[in-house]
């Protein structure tokens, strides 16, 4: 350990120390509940009978995300696992797949946290912070964007007191396997999350919520219901240096809706989606074909820290190898000198 490295506190892993926000000058009042508007859980999820469909009221008090980031439908308990229907909300663009890798990872990681809630040693809310993922796309041929709901399945197990792993599978509407993803999480109780991230708390409303009887125009309602996860990140300042591409993005609270309540943090899956977009954009540039499309093969992600609202994230991609139609990229996202996430992915060019 170098002289300038701060030692982690007892019981606090280096990863959790790295992702806790830097102190700010203004004091932060204690927070009794991370999601104060949610009722207490109705029953331990471990007591849920097979084929029970879990409602949002049963899931939200136990996991760390909510809509619009949470978009799963009909989350259902099966013996030892959970299954859900998955909407496709974003066009995959250069990825010739039913949905992009980033969106697939988003839905599967959320379902994995639901599976972890089923086997959590203690009931109540926990924050499942994805720290790593390994995946394989299972269909090598080009496909168009899915128009039907997909299916997802997840099994989870605790690998330590504060760690768990979920094994997930995404399938087409007819049951054809599409994507297998294994996700590792660091698990925090709501109290531990508040201790670590209390200084990242932001009041998300500029003014108190108006009475339910307030009248709004259709345009005002549409603005309230906007889903930031239905469109690609607005990456800017693209710069190319040989086989390396860079861009940047200012994280806004709107980009963090539903992740996390009152603590706007850019979701790891959205960061991953930005990195895969950098890879396919670089691939198109180097192939000198703006219409080229790719199908993923293998992907490996490590999430080293978090990006908070107000910070600028720099994305980068480097094509490290070309073998026939296969293109391998090393991608990264960082805030200043701090690495947020890294991703290695291989794509096959299909047209």
Domain with 185 in it: what CATH number?
3.10.129.10
Summarised one tens digit per residue, pLDDT across range 38-90 is 334 445 565 666 788 998 888 988 898 999 999 999 999 998 899 999 999 99
User: What is the share, in percent, of the chain residues with pLDDT greater than 90?
Assistant: 64
Check residue 318 and give its pLDDT. 98
Q: Is residue 218 part of a domain?
A: no
Range from 128-132, 198-202, 224-228 carrying the lowest mean pLDDT: 198-202
pLDDT at residue 314 above 80? yes
pLDDT at residue 33 above 60? no
pLDDT at residue 10 above 90? no
Residue where the block lists tokens 């949002």: 56
Q: What are phi and psi of 34, to 5 degrees?
A: -70, -35
Query: Average pLDDT, whole number, for the chain?
Result: 84
Residue 226 tokens, joined: 């906007």
Check residue 200 and give its pLDDT. 64
Check residue 264 and give its pLDDT. 85
Q: Is residue 205 part of a domain?
A: no
Range from 24-28, 128-132, 163-167, 182-186 carrying the lowest mean pLDDT: 24-28
d(CA 96, CA 293): 6
Check residue 48 and give its pLDDT. 65
Contact between residue 148 and residue 87 where contact means Cβ atoms under 8 Å apart? no
Reference 129, options 307, 14, 268, 262; nearest CA is: 268
Check residue 211 and give its pLDDT. 47
Three-class SS state of 8: coil
Q: Is residue 222 part of a domain?
A: no
Answer whether 0.85 is exceeded by the pTM.
Answer: no
d(CA 76, CA 267): 24
Q: How confident is the model at residue 201 (pLDDT cuts 50, 70, 90)?
A: low
Check residue 312 and give its pLDDT. 97
Three-class SS state of 122: coil
Summarised one tens digit per residue, pLDDT across range 91-142 is 999 999 999 999 999 999 999 999 999 999 887 889 999 999 999 999 999 9
Check residue 140 and give its pLDDT. 96
Check residue 341 and give its pLDDT. 98
pLDDT at residue 36 above 90? no
d(CA 116, CA 299): 22
d(CA 94, CA 298): 16
pLDDT at residue 18 above 90? no
Reference 102, options 284, 341, 287; nearest CA is: 341
Q: How confident is the model at residue 223 (pLDDT cuts 50, 70, 90)?
A: low
Summarised one tens digit per residue, pLDDT across range 232-278 is 999 999 999 999 999 999 999 889 898 876 778 899 999 999 999 99
Q: Is residue 224 part of a domain?
A: no
Check residue 196 and give its pLDDT. 79
Q: Is residue 216 part of a domain?
A: no
Range from 9-13, 154-158, 170-174 carrying the lowest mean pLDDT: 9-13
- 183: domain range? 14-200+229-349
d(CA 176, CA 60): 30
* Total domain count, the chain: 1
Buried b (16+ CB within 10 A) or exposed e, 28-62: eeebeebbeebeebeeebeebeeebebeeebbbbb
pLDDT at residue 2 above 90? no
d(CA 245, CA 330): 11
Average pLDDT rounded to a whole number, residues 201-211: 50
- 42: Cβ contacts below 8 Å, ≥ 6 apart: 57, 58
Q: Is residue 214 part of a domain?
A: no
Three-class SS state of 319: strand
Higher pLDDT, 7 or 340: 340
Range from 26-40, 187-201, 286-300 carrying the lowest mean pLDDT: 26-40
Check residue 252 and give its pLDDT. 92
């Amino acid at each position: 350990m170098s002289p300038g490295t701060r030692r982690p506190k007892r019981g606090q892993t280096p990863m959790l120390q790295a992702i806790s926000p830097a102190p700010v000058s203004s004091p932060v009042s204690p927070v009794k509940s991370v999601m104060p508007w949610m009722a207490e859980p109705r029953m331990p999820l471990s007591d849920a009978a097979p084929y029970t469909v879990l409602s949002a009221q049963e899931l939200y008090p136990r996991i760390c995300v909510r809509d619009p980031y949470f978009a799963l439908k009909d989350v259902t308990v099966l013996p030892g696992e959970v299954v859900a229907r998955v909407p496709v909300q974003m066009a995959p663009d250069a990825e010739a797949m039913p949905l992009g890798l980033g969106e697939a990872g988003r839905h599967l990681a959320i379902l994995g946290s639901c599976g972890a809630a089923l086997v959590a040693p203690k009931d109540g809310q926990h924050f499942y912070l994805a720290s790593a993922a390994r995946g394989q796309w299972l269909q090598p041929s080009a496909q168009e964007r899915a128009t039907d709901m997909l299916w997802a399945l997840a099994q989870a197990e605790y690998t330590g007191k504060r760690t768990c792993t979920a094994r997930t599978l995404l399938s087409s509407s007819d049951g054809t396997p599409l994507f297998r993803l294994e996700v590792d999480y660091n698990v925090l109780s709501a109290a531990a999350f508040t201790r670590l991230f209390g200084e990242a708390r932001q009041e998300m409303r500029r003014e108190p919520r108006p009475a339910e009887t307030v009248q709004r125009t259709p345009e005002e309602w549409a603005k309230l219901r906007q889903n930031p996860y239905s469109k690609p990140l607005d990456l800017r300042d693209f710069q190319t240096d040989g086989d390396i591409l860079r861009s940047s993005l200012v994280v806004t609270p709107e980009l963090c809706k539903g992740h996390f309540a009152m603590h706007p943090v850019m979701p790891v899956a959205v960061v991953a989606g930005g990195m895969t977009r950098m890879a396919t954009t670089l691939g198109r540039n180097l192939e000198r074909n703006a219409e080229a499309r790719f199908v993923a093969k293998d992907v490996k992600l490590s999430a080293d820290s978090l990006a908070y609202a107000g910070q600028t994230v720099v994305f980068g991609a480097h094509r490290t190898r070309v073998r026939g139609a296969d293109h391998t990229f090393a991608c990264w996202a960082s805030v200043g000198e701090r690495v947020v996430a890294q991703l290695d992915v291989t794509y096959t060019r299909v047209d």
